[in-house]
Chain A
């Protein structure tokens, strides 16, 4: 009996039991559906074993959207709990779990896969490559991320969710104060997903540096590719810190070490430092690709080349460098003294300079342009004012003396939502809408898309603007309730109303996907937006080999030049194309990683050892396997091309 007790939820409640039933039914429905429609083979051949960057991108996308709704439900629960004073909808424990998972799900399992979805799909196409440098590693990256996400998500029905905040500060996250397995899930799920991200980082750096088509010099890369390169350089420098910190956390929690636990000389401040040495660069990993998306979208729909290309590149490189020099601003109040705080205040404010350059360059890209307000452009245009508010409040927070008053308050919560939502979420929806026709061969409905935009943009401000005020009025973040005497009630109610509006906006996006899948015309050109970069030069949806003939570029807007200036993109004859073969190993290995993680969470040592052996067997298999890949014949390419062109 004792063995099974550990799997029980420490704080069960009716909604959790309901979710258990719902999860069980969904799994049964999926398995039954796949069997009934005989889709197991299709699923295995076309998706689970694929190494195609486009399919991996789409799988990242689906995961990100699912996680967006999971994190969104957490958000709605939080805002409804705090909508009125002394609400009893959630108890303290449940609320703590909800805000912890909201943070982790949104950052690690929503924003990260979303940027990798777009990077996977777009980067190889923008540089005229056939795939990423290491296609099988790419599949492993995705499946590790996916299994990490699944491991994290089962926590709330098996054993209990983490409840020490997404920052998991010690000693709160240590065994003494977090007795459930929740924080073990945190350590292991992030570890597995983080390994995947680190591999992606290496993969994309090599892809961008080594696999560009002829003519694409570094300074002729489209801006989204530049943003991907800088973001992945940050990944490679930042994620090892997380990996090590999480190992230390796991050791503390499972094997009785004292790296962070404050007894026997452990150092809680070490965790805070390591966490933010990774955590601050992490937010720039998210924002830089978003900047890349906006650069593409604004330049496309202003019908103009990007203003100040060189300063755009320089500012991104500058931001990625500075992102490693500011982590202490997350704990100005830890007592490191005026000198240290001043140094980090100045480095933090310095980030505003390259970011400001980007904002002004986007504005000047619209100058003398011919602006069309399509859905992606609406998000880009909405991003500029909202993100500016997020940015300037960031400068305010950077002033350490004043930060003593903002720290840990709703002001901070308002600030980072004002940067992350327009900066990442808006960009991802913009990018999704923009590249959707390239991914699926039809466009999302503009009318529903615009409704969704207005709901999201307005509700966003209704939700988060009041928090600047409640923060300055003394409302600390992460409080599950407050008394009526505090006077926080009305503004929190306003936030709740805004959150409902946001929910409507995101539901409209989901409805748009359904509606457009059913009714949108499949008869669209390969270049429906009249865009400028190489990914629009191939067919929609993109064939497996990407380009029948490797394109030749002359500028960062080679496709535009081909359309307007007579630049010849495709020279020469179609030749047979070498492609990497599919493999089930990444999926199998990630499944073993899932078992490995689960066993560690519950200290089940025999399965943990077996899983470890399994992981090494998978690696050995790869080392000894001969994989020559395969060729797509000229005949087949020509057939595919004429079929897609005819469509």
Chain B
């Protein structure tokens, strides 16, 4: 028993040392308000759960040390105990309180991560249509009228609204240091609210398995002050080639691509599956049916 704990604690030490070599864990090193909220929720839940873990571990050690057969007289007959209402009420009561506490935190934070981040409400968000195809990411900036592949430039201190959809399997748009992920699907558009507080380069990727090229389905994120972002947009407009339908179809072919930049967006000729263009609105049979019903 003793060397058991020795080994377990040495595992903990090894892991702490190994992770200590790296920088902070990405998810716990937030660079935006949503990721901050999520990191806070994670830390609160870890601390709360440690109480439970400690209680169980301590009780277990007490029981094992105190009531092992080798410590009892040979003729000891354990008593018959049915259970006690008081003890069982405590065992239900404390978890109920903890679950209520965590539920309140969850419900509040669920609301927060699904809306414009706190402190950013007044500002006009930058809307980016992020769509995936096997195994690339396409970023369309409709207002700026530019499009990039596999890299994303964003302004800091401004709310970001990502419109997510897919030209293939379900993917999941994830920039751990800016906030949690959300699915991109081919038959509807999901909205993800993010923002960046700190300029810098971040890792972005598809987190949802989507076939052969999934592991390399990543993109680079660069957050910069608004004026720098505007300068970049101007530069793209001055230098990049326009995105044609033909070119876009070519980009959709399965495979991997480097960073690409275009003026114009694919939204003009290949609109996102939202509103009237939603897959569930385009069904020919559906429209026929409703026509017949009328």
Contact = CB atoms under 8 A, between A and B. Distances in A.
A531 B288 CA distance: 70
B9 to A, nearest CB: 11
B109 A472 contact: no
B19 A396 contact: no
Contacts of A487: 22
B257 to A, nearest CB: 17
Contacts of B14: 494
Contacts of A334: 182-183, 185, 190
A177 interface: yes
B109 A402 contact: yes
Given A302-B78, A359-B56, A349 B63 contact: no
Contacts of B110: 338, 341-342, 345, 400-401
A369 B11 contact: no
B78 A369 contact: yes
Contacts of A457: 4
B90 to A, nearest CB: 9
A370 B67 CA distance: 5
B80 interface: yes
Contacts of B27: 405, 472-474
B214 to A, nearest CB: 7
A213 interface: no
A490 interface: yes
Contact of A304 (B81, B111, B180): B81
Interface string B199-231: 000010111111111110000000000000000
B188 interface: yes
Contacts of B190: 334-335
B95 interface: yes
B68 A373 contact: yes
B172 A465 contact: no
Helix, strand, loop or mixed for chain B's interface?
helix
Given A171-B186, A342-B107, A469 B69 contact: no
Interface residues on A, range: 35 or more
B78 A304 contact: yes
B260 interface: no
Nearest to B54: A388
A407 B4 CA distance: 32
B182 A305 contact: no
Nearest to B282: A265
B176 A474 contact: yes
B77 to A, nearest CB: 8
Contact of A367 (B63, B185, B208): B63
A388 B95 CA distance: 13
B286 interface: yes
Given A177-B211, A262-B279, A338-B114, A466 B15 contact: yes
Contacts of A364: 81, 83, 87
Interface in B93-139: 95-96, 99, 102-103, 105-107, 109-115, 134
Interface stretch (A239-247, A476-484, A512-520): A476-484
Given A304-B79, A472-B26, A404 B279 contact: no
A209 interface: no
B59 to A, nearest CB: 5
A172 B181 contact: no
Contact of B180 (A342, A363, A385, A405): A405
B67 A367 contact: yes
A335 B109 contact: no
B277 to A, nearest CB: 14
Interface stretch (A248-256, A308-316, A544-552): A308-316
B78 A346 contact: no
Given A262-B187, A402-B42, A350 B56 contact: no
Contacts of A76: none
B238 interface: no
B286 A384 contact: no
B52 to A, nearest CB: 6
Nearest to A301: B69
B88 A381 contact: no
A493 to B, nearest CB: 9
B267 interface: no
Helix, strand, loop or mixed for chain A's interface?
helix
A455 to B, nearest CB: 11
Most chain A CB neighbours (cut-off 10 Å) among B168, B205, B209: B209
Given A465-B11, A474-B203, A403 B180 contact: yes
A577 interface: no
A399 B78 contact: no
B283 to A, nearest CB: 4
A559 B264 CA distance: 80
B292 interface: no
Interface in B169-183: 169-170, 172, 174, 176, 179-183
Contacts of B174: 408, 476
Contacts of A357: 88, 91-92, 95
Interface in B29-81: 35, 37-39, 41-42, 45-46, 49, 52-53, 56-57, 59-60, 63-64, 67-69, 72, 76-81
B95 to A, nearest CB: 4
A357 B95 CA distance: 9
Contacts of B115: 338
B189 to A, nearest CB: 9
Nearest to B179: A404
Contact of B69 (A342, A371, A399, A465): A371
Contacts of B181: 333, 404-405, 407-408
A515 to B, nearest CB: 24
Given A335-B182, A399-B105, 5 more contacts: A346-B106, A371-B64, A400-B110, A465-B11, A469-B15
12 contacts: A164-B209, A171-B170, A356-B52, A364-B83, A370-B67, A381-B64, A385-B56, A402-B109, A472-B28, A473-B19, A474-B176, A481-B215
Q: Which 5 A-B pairs have the closest CB atoms?
A: A404-B180, A308-B83, A265-B283, A401-B109, A335-B190
Interface of B: 4, 7-8, 11, 14-15, 18-19, 21-22, 25-28, 35, 37-39, 41-42, 45-46, 49, 52-53, 56-57, 59-60, 63-64, 67-69, 72, 76-83, 87-88, 91-92, 95-96, 99, 102-103, 105-107, 109-115, 134, 168-170, 172, 174, 176, 179-183, 185-188, 190-191, 203, 205-215, 279-280, 282-286
